[in-house]
Amino acid sequence: MSGQNQNQGNCDGYAERSHRQNLIPQTYPPSTDEDANADSRDWFADIFADFEPQNTTDGSYRGTMAKIKATELHYQEVFEQKFVEANTNLKRDRIRVTIKQTGNSLQLRATLPLKPGDRSSLGKEKKQYDLSLGIPANLEGLKTAIEESYELGKLIARHTFEWNDKYLGIKSREKQEIKIIGELLDTFEDKYYQTRQKTITSENTFANYISVIKRNFPLTTLATKNHFEEIINSFQGNKKNELIAVSSVFIKTFQLGFTLEVTRDHVTPAHREIPENDKIVSSFELFEKFALNRKNTNITDEIDTWEMWRWVYGMLATFGLRPRELFVEPDINWWMSPQNIDHTWKVNKNTKTGYREVIPFVPEWIELFDLQNPKPLKILEKKVTKIASVQNINWMRRDISRWFRKVGIEFQPYDLRHACAIRAHLQGIPIKAAADNLGHTVDEHTKTYQRWFGIENRKKAFGEVISQKSLIELQKNEILALRMENERLRLEAEKVKFSENV
């Protein structure tokens, strides 16, 4: 072959290899664990790139699960698409291996020399086998299955295939050995986000999962059905229900192969005293009182911080917001814009129930609490720019409760949200409008929030209705009296007219 032809042949060979390499994930063999993790991220990077789950105003467990189901459905659609593409690419590259799915596992199907001790009914030396290598039926598993298919394809093409522990399934059985919870936790985050979109909301949820597992499950405990159930059943009430939910996610993420047989406890919510309007207004003044009476501080950032937390208090009271809805990418420009004539607050899409524009439940408190004062907003903006993770947001949320205690407020931040729900009912705002404004469904509004509608608020509601009825009755009587007076005057006028005619 001439030099030119040799170069051409080398170029063709390089092009062919490059073409085939573009068809499969570039993850084999990774040089380091860091490279492997980077390759894995590349493989999953665009799964949720164009995915936007349907927005929901349901902040309950049902609403959260609806979002999770939508995400899982999208993930499954991507998996099925890539599964078909993988087999198409194998066929195009003339790799005599097919990937197939059986339940939650992937196998490699290929015609191979007879397995030791096996015989062909047709007397042939080869037979079709489904090789189980312990590969899960998910995108990460599909990536592995593609790599293994090309590797097996090479052995078949070169007639060098031999039955070893790997292809006999011995290694896959070893992989299924039960691990301890602590070992699984090391890869929990990576596996969790292989099937989920990474957002501020999902990061917050995952941080809670990790915290619950570390606080309640001994990390040296084997991840078995009996151990999970034993620990869960040692608790009661909300604690038990939380462990059931978190454990179920953990078990599903690692495909541990069992389902928990535990029963959720029915929990009756404890009674809470929701603050009245005058209590909310008087508590607002406690922030400045605290600032005037506290010891001097030399920390510049701490001198005026109380003003930002007082602003946060006023916003929670006026709009019924969830605390984190003030810290997740707050649209301060819109809040201060002259075009915002209705004084609405825009909640960012990366929050519990997504984007919404909130109308103030008590518009006059915007001026009373000086909520458009630029000074606390500048402090907020400065703090928000330092937010690097969902943990920072959680710290700020916890700081609200800490400041409530510090200045002497006798109720909790979330009680201001409950107060808005009750106030809306007393104001006669339609339930659907109030629920949308608070960012939850009508069902959530009536079932969850109305349970705080105590006897005093019921008295108010009855009193207002009775007062309205009394006012209507009074107006009816006044109208009737005026009609009677008109009739009397009309009769007198007719009498006078008759007398003049006579």
Residues catalogued as catalytic: 322, 352, 417, 440, 449
Q: Six-digit token pair at 113? A: 């020399």
Place of tokens 């979002």: 67
Which stretches does DSSP call E strand in 43-160? 98-102, 105-113, 126-136
Which residue, among 345, 371, 368, has the nearest Cα to 438 in the 3D structure?
Answer: 345
**CB 246: neighbour CB atoms within 10 A?**
20
**CB 350: neighbour CB atoms within 10 A?**
17
In terms of Cβ atoms closer than 10 Å to its own Cβ (0-12, 13-18, 19+), residue 38 is middle
Please give the helix or strand (H or E) that residue 357 lies within, else none: strand 356-358
Tell how far CA 432 is from the center of its chain: 23
Residue 220's SS3 state is coil
Q: Which residues pair with 111 in a beta bridge?
A: 128
- Is the Cβ–Cβ distance between 49 and 119 less than 8 Å? no
Interatomic CA distance for residues 319 and 366, integer angstroms: 10
Which residue, among 87, 138, 139, 92, has the nearest Cα to 108 in the 3D structure?
Answer: 87
Interatomic CA distance for residues 419 and 432, integer angstroms: 17
Angle value at C-alpha 477, between 474 and 482, nearest 5 degrees: 125
Q: Six-digit token pair at 35? A: 């490279």
Please give the helix or strand (H or E) that residue 347 lies within, else none: strand 345-347
Interatomic CA distance for residues 15 and 345, integer angstroms: 56
Instruction: Determine what percent of the chain falls in helix, strand and coil, rounding each to the nearest 5.
Output: 60, 5, 30
CA–CA distances in Å: residue 363 to residues 192, 359, 413:
43, 8, 19
Please give the helix or strand (H or E) that residue 345 lies within, else none: strand 345-347
Phi then psi dihedrals of residue 333, to 5 deg: -60, -40
CA–CA distances in Å: residue 5 to residues 15, 337, 365:
15, 71, 84
